Structure 1
């Protein structure tokens, strides 16, 4: 379990983050949670799917990175090879303390001190010698803010998709070049047939709420499964 401590400009005055090790947090992740604001960037390389939270059963938007447990096909030669690195990776090793609802306008940032990216010798400083926030730390806070806002947008879209019965399980059998086969399970996507059957009023509502473009982006992104298959085949050759 991560050891989280609140970031403090006195306690962490000399703390640095080795950016070369930040992306290691995603090295073994076949799925990574994503938010709507990222969809347009993700869709050019990653399939965007829906999964279910194992604890709550709630739907979660995820970028698909691999086919097997602990497999990230975009992690090659100890580096992330994707054109776009998801926010959930880039914000590492920082988290937001959300227990104090009274101060929701002020982010209580915590640092995972167990992360291999945390250092006092190499990397990006959190504060300058006066204790003022560095431009790097300001970027981290902006990423965390975007994730928090994104979670709210995600909930709206998921509630809308659920109410319109537009979510369906994905069914896909894949055979790789070594004749190994896999069947995708536990993944969900947009039901294109039901989407096409919506009436004009429902389509207009989706468009006016800004959700229709996200739905289409998600559908288009599924073509990137072929990218994943190609990466998998290359890893087997």
Structure 2
């Protein structure tokens, strides 16, 4: 379970993080949320699909990494084999939290109410050293304080690595709005349809995958001129066709599964 704490340059001045270990957070994921701004990179290797959150029924764009829960076919030999590492993995172990003023809490230490703050999962394996809190692995040869990348310099200013983390988190935050804007148009124009996959692998093992959604290409081709103009002005045709084209990468997944079964 994640243990989130707000990051600041007093309590975490000595904290160091190993970004190479962020991949560990995706080892057991078969669906990984993605945002519109990374569709082009994601779609070159992973199928992009729509699924629904179990608790709210809200649609979520996701890269498909496997055919069943816990299966990431790109996780091999204890490392991520995909060329592009999606933002949701690259930002680990950091999260964005919105400051909310609760009774008895002091938001002055973390920001004003309504602000966004960067939090860190202190249980993440990416945290390799933290002198102040004892977080991380302090074993092995050499000076452990030199492991990983620092969040701050000696004067308390953000390190280059932490600035990159914040940019990644900012892209995810704005990406939520872009995703919702695209979804609103797709639903308003009744362009979504359910999809299921019936797959037979080379060893004759079969798999049926349900609970996924895609864009109805027949309805897309029959949009009115006004609807086409709306999508064009909104800059949504590119992500729509990237989304559709990416589903050809399901064959990449099948190939990886065949190799695994062999």
Residues 5-20 of structure 1 mapped to structure 2, 5 A cutoff: 5-20=5-20
Q: Across the two proteins, how many residue pairs are aligned to each other?
A: 236
CA distance in 1, matches of 2:100, 2:181: 23
SS at match of 2:211: coil
Hey, what's the Cα distance between the residues in 2 that align with 1:20 and 1:41? 19
Q: Cα deviations across residues 109-132 of structure 1 (Å, max 9, x unaligned)?
A: 000000011121321110111111
Choose the corresponding residue for 1:188, options 202, 213, 219: 213
Q: Assess if the C-alpha contact under 8 Å between 2:19 and 2:90 holds in 1.
A: no
CA distance in 2, matches of 1:33, 1:183: 21
CA offsets, 1:36-79, max 9 Å, x none?
00001011100000000111101000000000110001111111
Q: Report the equivalent of 2:222.
A: 197
Corresponding residue for residue 96 of structure 1:
96
> SS at the partner of 1:96?
strand
User: In the TM superposition, what whole-angstrom CA distance separates every residue of 1:83-140 from its partner, at most 9, and x where no partner exists?
Assistant: 1111000000001112449665x54000000001112132111011111110000000
Deviates more, 1:192-201 or 1:95-104: 95-104
**5 Å matches for 1:109-124?**
109-120=118-129, 121=144, 122-124=147-149
- For residues 134 and 107 of structure 1, the distance between their equivalents in structure 2, rounded to whole angstroms, comes to 19
Alpha-carbon shift at residue 18 of structure 1 (Å)? 1.2
Q: Residue 85 of structure 2: SS of its match in structure 1?
A: coil
TM-score (normalised: structure 2): 0.87
In the other structure, the counterpart of 2:3 is: 3
Give the unaligned 5+ runs of structure 2.
102-111, 130-143
Question: What are the equivalent positions in structure 2 for 1:41-120 lying under 5 Å apart?
Answer: 41-100=41-100, 107-120=116-129
1:36 aligns with 2:36: yes
Which protein shows a greater Rg?
Answer: 2
Alignment partner, residue 25 of structure 2: 25
Map 1:79-228 → 2, pairs under 5 A: 79-100=79-100, 107-120=116-129, 121=144, 122-228=147-253
* Whole-Å separation in 1 of the counterparts to 2:13 and 2:30: 35
**Any idea what SS the aligned residue of 1:92 has?**
coil
Give, in whole Å, the separation in 1 of the partners of 2:160 and 2:17.
13
Q: TM-score, normalised by structure 1?
A: 0.96
* 1:197-232 CA distance string (max 9 Å, x none): 111111111011011111100000000000000011
Unaligned runs of 5+ in 1: none
C-alpha distance in structure 1 between counterparts of 2:62 and 2:99, whole Å: 25
